[in-house]
Structures are given as structure tokens and as C-alpha cells.
């Protein structure tokens, strides 16, 4: 397929940055730095070397790595050569990696050598290893050396697939979400407008690049010619040091990371980091934590809500809506996911797909030019999640009269007790504000009388400083009687995904084991 002059694709940013800002630093990772011209040359070398080995546009290129410059180079090579990039989670087991590689049919894998053991079940895949320090003797560097430094000028069409992101697979085998160039370019335009990204906005990327969130923000800033600081693993001290030493202006964080940073900075005299924007996403942000963070960093927070299948943009809560001292109706927005981003349509529907008016809870569905093309080799799942041009999120939410979306929880997490619908997030927000509670997850557990009963699983800040009776009493005047936890358990920690999401399925399964019905 050809490409008309006005239809740009993801590869064009690599060319334009190298042309107009060749000496500007593109990426920093630990002690390595590459300029935009150096980055483009390395991307071209990788693309040409893989093409010379027989890979063709549409073939799948696997990536298994922490946040490294090589990760971005692999993405770039896929973008300029027309391969489909398949990033994989390095925290998974070898069996998971083997399943995804086999399901996607990847032909080559760009591999950080620390994760060699995860490739034990890969078959028929050519592996190119690199070391974090850029060892010129690694297989990856030798591969680059064999490739031409010239732009391969592969004809990429807007409709050509670019990425395949695998979902977490909490309800079965992971599914490959297919995103094309046109959709990603549409998403980028909305991101650049909503986040008001400027070329001077150096971005620190600590959210994993194998996840759509980390890649989305890294790509948006790259398209504005921003410098990207890549952080292979998270710890608050190193992150704060990098923000100061590299003049970082923007950072994307998960709520659990923000919690650790707030705790680390507690009591320190110097907390001004000079940040323009702290983006947050990937998991619900407790309002009590958000208040602490705003008090520490000021009005720099922006929330983005979406999903891999939506490309990922959907809604955004802007800095102006983060006002902890405003009137009650403004403060209430701290619990909101914001309003639909530009060029995104977001609706709430009932179980019969009928749109709902403000004040009513329904499933969130999203429509935009950025939506996935579908799931890889899974037409049944595609039909279930994409209907009439909408992607269905599996989240329940409610709009207020001003168009702000409040996500109340996952559809499957809703608790039905005595015929009443109970949304765990409302209860969790109450309990997260308790000074002795560090974390909490609310789930429905079997109950002979009511069908389900509300249970709070709590991580206390200090052992033995709070008990079940106190937790339930704390809810007495703050929640309707049927929403109060009927029981409380204390755990040393809650199971979490690599992005800091509390794994409710794992918690719930402990109480529903051996039963046919597991809500």
C-alpha cells in the first residue's frame, strides 16, 4: 500500500527529529545518551539488518526488556520497517512468554540478557541479546553493525498494524491487542493537545515500556522532540535524583509509585522538583493519597483513563480540576476520571446497550479513531469487546451533570448483597482515609443469607494498631448500612500486578474456592 503526502505514520517522527534536531538528546538511560540523529541511525541499522535476514512488513518482532534505549530502538525498527512490535512483560514466567511468542508467531526477539531464562520455551525464534551497558560484542550490537545506516524507506500505510500489546489475562489466556498506525497517530494528536506537551518537556519513563501506558507517553513526548529519560526499575530515591539531575519536567506514575514517593519525601525540607506535569494512570488513585501528593508537589497532576483496547486514550482530568481546597462540588472531582479527551466519545450503557443519563451507573464504552483493530486471531473475543464501533471497557461508571466520569469499579467486581448493588471503590475510598490503614481491597464473599457480603482486606500501617471492630465502626457514619464491611481481615500485603494494580481476582479466589459461582 502506498502513502499519500499528508498521511503521516509513526516512523515519520524518527525522520523529522533527526532532520530538525539532530544533536538534541533523544534518550538517556543510566550512563548512556543518544542524540536524535544517532537514534535514527541505530533504528535504521536494526530495521535493515532484520529485513536482510528475511523479515517482512507484517512479521512480528518480539521485545523482552526493562526500559532501555534498545527497547525504543526495537519499537522504532518495527515502525520504519512495518513489523508488528510485540512487547512482553519480563516479570512473567517462561511458560507465559512462550505462549505469547507462539501465539503471536514472532520471528525474532530483542532480548535484554538478564532475561535469557524466560526464553526456554521459545521455538523457531532468532534471539538477539543486548547488555544494559551497550556492550559492542553483544549479539544485538553485532546485528546493528551488519545493517545499513540509511533509511530503508519502507512503504508504511496508515492502516498498517504497528503494535500488539498483550492484555494481562486475568480471565484466561492473554489476548493480543492490535493497534495500527492511523489509530496511534490519532491518539497522539489527542495526547499532545490535552497534555499541552512542549519540546522542552523532558519525560522520565519508569512505567514499563511493554505496557501501553508507558509507551503512549514516551511516544507522545518523542513526537514533540522531547528528551526521554528511561528508568529500568522504580525506586523513589533514584527517581527523584534523576528528576533533579536531568531537568525532568514530566513523569508518568502509577498511584502505588506516588504513594512510595510521598512516603519517601515525608519530613524532608526540599521537595520542590520543578515538575510541570505528573501524569497518573493504570489504577484507581485514592483521594486521600492524591490530596497528600498535591500538597507536596502543587497543581501539576493530570489523570488519564483508558485501556489498551481504546488505544489507550479515553478521558482526562486536568490540572485545573485538581483543587483540594475548592467548593465541595470541585473537591468531589478528585475522585473523577475526568471528561472525554478531544476526538473521543465516551458513553455509559445498561446491559441492553441503552445509553444512560447522568447519575446512573453503567458500563463504560469508548469510540474514537484510536481503537484497536481487534484481538490477534481471536474473533470471538473481538466480537464480545467491540460492537458497532465501540470498545466495551468492562468498567462501571457514572457521569455527573457536567460530564465528568466517575469509575466505580470493574463490572466483575460489583458486589450484589441482598439485591443491592455495591461498588467496592466507594468503600475503599472511605477506608483509605483512615490514618492506620496503608492499603485496602474490598471484595464480595459468600453469604448464605444475602448471597454476598462485603469484606475488607486491610494492610495496616503498624501491626496490631487497628482491629476489625474499629474498621467497621469507622464506616458507621460514612456509609449506608448495607455497604459497611461485614468482616475484616488483615494481611501483611496485597497481591499486585507489575503496574501496582491490586489483584482482586487473587483475593476473591481465596473465599470462593470450590464454588461454582464466583462473582
Above 80 in pLDDT, residue 269?
Answer: no
- pLDDT at residue 445 tops 60: yes
Answer yes or no: is 438 within a domain. Answer: yes
pLDDT exceeds cutoff 60 at 81: yes
pLDDT at residue 421 is higher than 90? no
Compute the average pLDDT of residues 70-81: 98
Query: What is the rounded CA–CA span in Å between residue 519 and residue 416?
Result: 9
pLDDT attached to residue 275:
96
What does the alpha-carbon distance between residue 24 and residue 225 come to, in Å, rounded to a whole number? 8
What pLDDT score was predicted for residue 267?
76
Q: At what angle do helices 212-223 and 181-195 cross, to 10 degrees?
A: 70
Q: Within a 10 A sphere around the Cβ of 480, how many other Cβ atoms?
A: 10
Residue 4 has a pLDDT of 47
Taking only the tens place, the pLDDT of each residue in 24-61 is 999 999 999 999 999 999 999 999 999 999 999 999 99
Structural domain contains residue 478: yes
Does residue 295 carry a pLDDT above 70?
yes
**285 exposed, middle or buried (CB, 10 Å; 0-12, 13-18, 19+)?**
buried
Rounded to an integer, the average pLDDT of 193-220 is 97
pLDDT at 486: 94
C-alpha cell at 163: 503494535
What DSSP line would sit under 354-404, residue for residue? Answer: -B--TT--EEEEEEETT---EETT-HHHHHHHEETTEEEEEEEEEE-TTS-
Residue 25 pLDDT = 98
Residue 170: pLDDT over 50: no
Q: Please state, as a whole number, how many other Cβ atoms lie within 10 Å of the Cβ of residue 509.
A: 12
CATH code for the domain in which residue 429 is found: 3.30.300.30
User: Is the pLDDT confidence value at 410 over 60?
Assistant: yes
SS (H, E, C) 461-498: CCCCCCCHHHHHHHHHCCCCHHHCCCEEEECCCCCECC
How many structural domains are present in the chain?
1
Q: Cis check for the bond before 248: say yes or no (omega within 30 of 0).
A: no
* pLDDT higher than 50, residue 442: yes
Domain that holds residue 471: 414-512
Closest CA to 166 of 474, 381, 465: 381
pLDDT of residue 375: 97
Distance CA 206, CA 70 (A): 15
Helices and strands of the chain, counted as H and E runs: 15, 26
Segment among 11-25, 152-166, 465-479 with least mean pLDDT: 465-479
Q: Which pLDDT belongs to residue 411?
A: 84
Is 34 within a domain? no
pLDDT band at 172 (very low <50, low <70, confident <90, very high): low
Question: Tens digit of pLDDT for each residue in 222-265?
Answer: 999 999 999 999 999 999 999 999 999 999 999 989 999 999 99
Band of residue 1 on the pLDDT scale cut at 50, 70, 90: very low
Say which range, 7-16, 139-148, 224-233, 404-413, has the weakest mean pLDDT.
404-413
What integer pLDDT is reported at residue 3 of this predicted model?
46
| pLDDT for 515 | 64
Query: Is position 76 within any domain?
Result: no
At 474 the pLDDT is 95
Where is 112: in which H helix or E strand? Answer: strand 106-112
User: By CB neighbour count within 10 A (0-12 exposed, 13-18 middle, 19+ buried), where does 189 fall?
Assistant: middle
The whole-model pTM stands at 0.89
pLDDT at 283: 80
Residue 243 lies in a domain: no
Contact assessment for residue 508 and residue 495, using Cβ atoms and an 8 Å cutoff: no
Mean pLDDT computed over 412-417: 86
> What does the pLDDT read at residue 519?
39
Residue 423 domain flag: yes
Pick from 88, 63, 93: nearest CA to 76 = 63
490 part of a folded domain:
yes
Grade residue 518 by pLDDT with cuts at 50, 70 and 90.
very low
Question: Three-state SS across 174-242?
Answer: CCEEEEEHHHHHHHHHHHHHHHCCCCCCCEEECCCCCCHHHHHHHHHHHHCCCCEEECCCCCHHHHHHH
Cell 450484589 belongs to residue? 416
Average pLDDT on 353-364 reads 96
498 falls within a domain: yes
pLDDT of residue 169 exceeding 80: no
What pLDDT sits at residue 517? 44
Mean pLDDT, range 77-103, rounded to an integer: 95
Amino acid at each position: 500500500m502506498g502513502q499519500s503526502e499528508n498521511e503521516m505514520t509513526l516512523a515519520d517522527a524518527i525522520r523529522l527529529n533527526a532532520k530538525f534536531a539532530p544533536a538534541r538528546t533523544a534518550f538517556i538511560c543510566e550512563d548512556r545518551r543518544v542524540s536524535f540523529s544517532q537514534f535514527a541511525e541505530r533504528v535504521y541499522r536494526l530495521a535493515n539488518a532484520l529485513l536482510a535476514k528475511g523479515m517482512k512488513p507484517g512479521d512480528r518482532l518480539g521485545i523482552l526488556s526493562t526500559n532501555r534505549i534498545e527497547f525504543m530502538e526495537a519499537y522504532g525498527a518495527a515502525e520504519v520497517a512495518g513489523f508488528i512490535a510485540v512487547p512482553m512483560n519480563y516479570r512473567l514466567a517462561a511458560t507465559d512468554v512462550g505462549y505469547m511468542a507462539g501465539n503471536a508467531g514472532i520471528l525474532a526477539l530483542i532480548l535484554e540478557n538478564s532475561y535469557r531464562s524466560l526464553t526456554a520455551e521459545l521455538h523457531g525464534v532468532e534471539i538477539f541479546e543486548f547488555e544494559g551497558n551497550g556492550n559492542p560484542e553483544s549479539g544485538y550490537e553485532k546485528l546493528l553493525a551488519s545493517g545499513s545506516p540509511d533509511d530503508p524507506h519502507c512503504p508504511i500505510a496508515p492502516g498498517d498494524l504497528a503494535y500488539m500489546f498483550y492484555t494481562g489475562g486475568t480471565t484466561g489466556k492473554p489476548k493480543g491487542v492490535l493497534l495500527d498506525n492511523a489509530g496511534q497517530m490519532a491518539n497522539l494528536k489527542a495526547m499532545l493537545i490535552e497534555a499541552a506537551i512542549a519540546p522542552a518537556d523532558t519525560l522520565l519513563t519508569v512505567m514499563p515500556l511493554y505496557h501501553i501506558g508507558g509507551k503512549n507517553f514516551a511516544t507522545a513526548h518523542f513526537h514533540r522532540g522531547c528528551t526521554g529519560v528511561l528508568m529500568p526499575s522504580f525506586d523513589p530515591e533514584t527517581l527523584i535524583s534523576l528528576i533533579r539531575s536531568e531537568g525532568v519536567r514530566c513523569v508518568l506514575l502509577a498511584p502505588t509509585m506516588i504513594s512510595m514517593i510521598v512516603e519517601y519525601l515525608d519530613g524532608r525540607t526540599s521537595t520542590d522538583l520543578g515538575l510541570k506535569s505528573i501524569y497518573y494512570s493504570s489504577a484507581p488513585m485514592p483521594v486521600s493519597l492524591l490530596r497528600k501528593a498535591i500538597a507536596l508537589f502543587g497543581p501539576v497532576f493530570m489523570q488519564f483513563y483508558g485501556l489498551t483496547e481504546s488505544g489507550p486514550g479515553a478521558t482526562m482530568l486536568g490540572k485545573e480540576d485538581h483543587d483540594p481546597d475548592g467548593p465541595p462540588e470541585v473537591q468531589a472531582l478528585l475522585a473523577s476520571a475526568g471528561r472525554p479527551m478531544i476526538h473521543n466519545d465516551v458513553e455509559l450503557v445498561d446491559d441492553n446497550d441503552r445509553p444512560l443519563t447522568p447519575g446512573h451507573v453503567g458500563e463504560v464504552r469508548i469510540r474514537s479513531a484510536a481503537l484497536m483493530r481487534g484481538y490477534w486471531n481471536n474473533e470471538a473475543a473481538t466480537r464480545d469487546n467491540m460492537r458497532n464501533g465501540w470498545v466495551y471497557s468492562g468498567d462501571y461508571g457514572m457521569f455527573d451533570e457536567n460530564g465528568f466520569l466517575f469509575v466505580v469499579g470493574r463490572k466483575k467486581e460489583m458486589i450484589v448483597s441482598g439485591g443491592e448493588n455495591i461498588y467496592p471503590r466507594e468503600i475503599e475510598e472511605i477506608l483509605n482515609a483512615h490514618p492506620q490503614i496503608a492499603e485496602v481491597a474490598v471484595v464480595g464473599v459468600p453469604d448464605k443469607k444475602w448471597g454476598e457480603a462485603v469484606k475488607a482486606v486491610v494492610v495496616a500501617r503498624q501491626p496490631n494498631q487497628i482491629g476489625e471492630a474499629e474498621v467497621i465502626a469507622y464506616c458507621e457514619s460514612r456509609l449506608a448500612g448495607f455497604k459497611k464491611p461485614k468482616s475484616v481481615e488483615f494481611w501483611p500485603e496485597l497481591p499486585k500486578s507489575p503496574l501496582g494494580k491490586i489483584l482482586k481476582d487473587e483475593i476473591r479466589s481465596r473465599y470462593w474456592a470450590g464454588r461454582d459461582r464466583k462473582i
